[in-house]
Amino acid sequence: GSGGMAVRGALRTLCLAALLGALGAAGTELTLELPDSAQRCFHQELESGTKFTLDYQVISGGHYDVDCYVEDPNGKTIYQETKKQYDSFSHHTELKGVYTFCFGNEFSTFSHKIVYFDFQVGDEPPILPNMNNRVTALTQLESACVTIHEMLKAVIDSQTHYRLREAQDRGRAEELNGRVSYWSLGETLILFAVSIGQVVLLKSFFTEKRPSSGGAGS
């Protein structure tokens, strides 16, 4: 009846507000090409006491590994890993200034890498107004919105993970297909060369040798 429609309308309104609030979180997602023997750096100015999270994963290239490090405004290394396929790093800043994070491929001479990273700054804002300062329990509608929001976050994370895995597997399949194609082409050329050599060799067995005219009687 009208009561059920009003409840559903209120639920849609609260959930829409929750989603809009979730969109307010600052973050950057980027997929970049990292040439061989190269390094790419990114810079972000942050306030002190701010939380940031860096997630990255190599999608294609070589052994799917990359070097990564993060420096604070004083140039101090607060995170460093070498030849990692994927990783996640979280940190609460102690200094105000420009933080730098870099991806390096200097150890690779021939292979280009495709690297995905997600850089999130700050804590996620509450999905409902004054949610952190409330002294009363959440209503059933509010609890449903919180549950839906958490489920949507899990779905988004899973979709991102599976998209990256699909891209990585597709790159491996294309690389394997290229190797198989080149190997098949090489085998075909070798087969033709061996066949022609056998024909020439057999033909030489059945070819009569004519005596030389220089040894004729005088």
Residues 74 and 182: their CA atoms lie apart, in Å, by 51
Q: State how many domains the chain has.
A: 2
74 plus 111 within the same structural domain: yes
Predicted TM-score (pTM) of the model is: 0.61
Going by C-alpha positions, the residue among 41, 20, 22 that lies closest to residue 157 is 22
Chain CA centroid to CA 142, Å: 35
CA 130 to chain centre: 37
pLDDT digit string (tens) for 91-115? 999 999 999 999 999 888 788 889 9
Q: What is the average per-residue pLDDT within 26-37?
A: 85
CA 175/CA 53 separation, integer angstroms: 32
Band of pLDDT at residue 5, cut at 50, 70 and 90: very low
Q: Are residues 68 and 135 in the same domain?
A: no
Would you say residue 14 lies in a domain?
no
> Cα 67 to chain center, whole Å?
14
**pLDDT tens column, 154-186:** 888 788 778 877 877 887 788 889 889 999 999
Residue 131: strand, helix, or coil: coil
Would you state the structure tokens that stand for residue 190, as one six-digit string? 């070798």
The CATH number assigned to the domain holding 81 equals 2.60.120.680
Predicted confidence (pLDDT) per residue in 122-139, tens digit: 876 666 666 556 656 667
Q: Which residues contact 132 (CB under 8 A, 6 or more apart)?
A: 126
Domain span including residue 33: 29-123
